[in-house]
């Protein structure tokens, strides 16, 4: 059985989120999704619009998702130690960053493959938030 893992805030759930989960599930037998806690979102000086428990429930009810867990820190290796996944799925906006190159090296040592999916440029939570802000300011 191939176990896949991905994480995200999954705020203002949109087609990019759905595509990530759908594509990930197509490459594994069991897909575990880490949903970022409100506390962890705040480290980026951001705030989720949809509360953590509601985001968990939304993701939990996506057909492609088998298990939902809280993502309480950014340490992907500690997640691997708990969940023992075989593949880590991530958006390609993180590809070639210093942080993810290090994750790739760490994961290679334990046999985990990192798969990057194309970032959905036409829709993102950031873009939705910016559009809503402009509409509110008009």
Catalytic positions, written as ranges:
44, 46
Q: Which two tokens stand for residue 78?
A: 């500690």
Secondary structure E strands in the chain: 3-8, 30-36, 67-71, 87-91, 113-117
**Helices then strands (H, E): number in the chain?**
6, 5
Say how many residues make up the chain: 138
């Amino acid at each position: 059985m191939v176990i896949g893992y991905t994480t995200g805030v999954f705020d203002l759930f949109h087609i990019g989120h759905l595509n990530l989960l759908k594509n990930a599930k197509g490459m594994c037998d069991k897909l575990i999704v880490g949903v970022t806690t409100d506390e962890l979102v705040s480290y980026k000086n951001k705030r989720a619009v949809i509360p953590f428990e509601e985001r968990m429930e939304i993701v939990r009810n996506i057909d492609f998702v088998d298990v939902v867990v809280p993502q309480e820190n950014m340490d992907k290796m500690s997640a691997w130690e708990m969940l023992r996944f075989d593949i880590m799925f991530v958006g390609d906006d993180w590809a070639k960053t210093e942080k993810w190159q290090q994750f790739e090296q760490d994961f290679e040592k334990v046999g985990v493959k990192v798969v990057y999916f194309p970032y959905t440029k036409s829709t993102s939570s950031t873009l939705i938030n910016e559009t809503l802000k402009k509409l509110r300011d008009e």
